[in-house]
Structure 1
């Protein structure tokens, strides 16, 4: 089974469609969406409906902090621009779309795989996995061999051996990485809708379960079209400008 791991879609239709097309061409047989379907971008309804359609066909989906903010109100520590977009997004979604976001679980276990937006140790508190310390804490919080996280917008990979030795990688796109199950692995695919590592190309990863490999991908997309939609919607222009620079 080839499992496409897609996270932090952030209402970016152009990026999400490009990622889905690429994943299909790479032979994806199942999809996992790791949260933050809305926020920042100008196409929240299309992105939510796209995820809903995939879930009906067997995809996994968990909720992120922007999804929770849209249905329950933004958290006090959210930046002003993010809060403004959430308020705008609430007016763009229909009740069935809001209900879908409202009912998303914070985490989901499937066999020896854990899917969660932020981390395994406190999913509802939205703490970031910024480095090895947080990654190890997350891996200690689950018996699963594979943990797939979003929230961080840069692709990263961490592992923990049975003896407690931890390691990390900054992955090279399109290069398969062996991920045997005698170690625990924490995978951050990077953001599909708003990469922040200086590369504007959309991020996702493919987990090939039979081959025990993980491949990170970067997919160019029409970020100018996505940016223009943000400006036309009257959303903060900084959110449009950053797409061209992967910030």
Structure 2
């Protein structure tokens, strides 16, 4: 089975459309969406509706912190600009879409794979898995051979060897990475809707469990159009600049 891994869509229709079209050309069998379908971008209703359609067809989806925020009272844990977008987003979604986001699970396990937006170690705390120590905590907590996450907006791959040693690599786009059955892995595909590694091309990955191979992809899209929509909606201009600059 070939599984497309998309995370941090962030209401960016142009990026989501580009990644889904690219994935369709790779002949994937299933999709997994690991959270943050809303926030930052100007097309939350379209993105949530698209994820809902895929879930109805058998896709996996888990809740991200922005999905949680739009269905709960605001907290100071989010910075002011993000809270502003969340408040605006709530008015863009209908009751069915809000109910969908509220009902999403924090985690999902399928066979030897574990899906979570942030860390499997206390998922509700939204910990950033940004180093090997955080990755090891998540891998240990998940208790699975492979963990698929998001939240950090930067593609990376962590490995916990059978002797307990941890490693990290920054994958090259398009490279087929062979995964060893005796090791455990944590996969961060990077963000579809708001990459932050100084590359504005959208990110996603495909896991082939038969071949035990993982591929990361960068998909160019019309980030200028997405940025202009953010400005036209009256949202903070910083989120338009991030789309253009990839930061």
TM-score range, shorter chain: over 0.9
Match of 1:39 in 2: 39
SS in 2 for 1:22: helix
Paired with 2:224 and 2:23, the residues of 1 have a C-alpha distance of 22
Match of 2:198 in 1: 198
1:203-229 Cα deviation digits (max 9, x unpaired)? 000001100000000000000000111
Paired with 2:21 and 2:74, the residues of 1 have a C-alpha distance of 32
Paired with 2:172 and 2:73, the residues of 1 have a C-alpha distance of 37
Match of 1:235 in 2: 235
Paired with 1:91 and 1:111, the residues of 2 have a C-alpha distance of 38
Q: After TM superposition, where is structure 1 displaced by more than 2 Å over at least 4 residues in a row? A: none
* Alignment check: 8 A CA contact 1:6 1:33 kept: yes
SS in 1 for 2:8: coil
Instruction: Note the 1:189-228 alignment, pairs <5 A.
Output: 189-228=189-228
* Alignment check: 8 A CA contact 1:158 1:186 kept: yes
SS in 1 for 2:142: coil
1:112-149 Cα deviation digits (max 9, x unpaired)? 10000001111000010011010011111122101000
Match of 1:101 in 2: 101
* Count of residue correspondences: 247
Paired with 1:97 and 1:170, the residues of 2 have a C-alpha distance of 35
Instruction: Note the 1:112-191 alignment, pairs <5 A.
Output: 112-191=112-191
Long gaps (5+) in structure 1: none
Moved more, 166-175 or 136-145: 136-145
TM-score by length of 2: 0.99
Paired with 2:74 and 2:227, the residues of 1 have a C-alpha distance of 23
Paired with 1:207 and 1:27, the residues of 2 have a C-alpha distance of 12
C-alpha RMSD of matched pairs (Å): 0.6
TM-score by length of 1: 0.99
CA shift at 1:99, angstroms? 0.2
Match of 2:22 in 1: 22
CA shift at 1:13, angstroms? 0.1
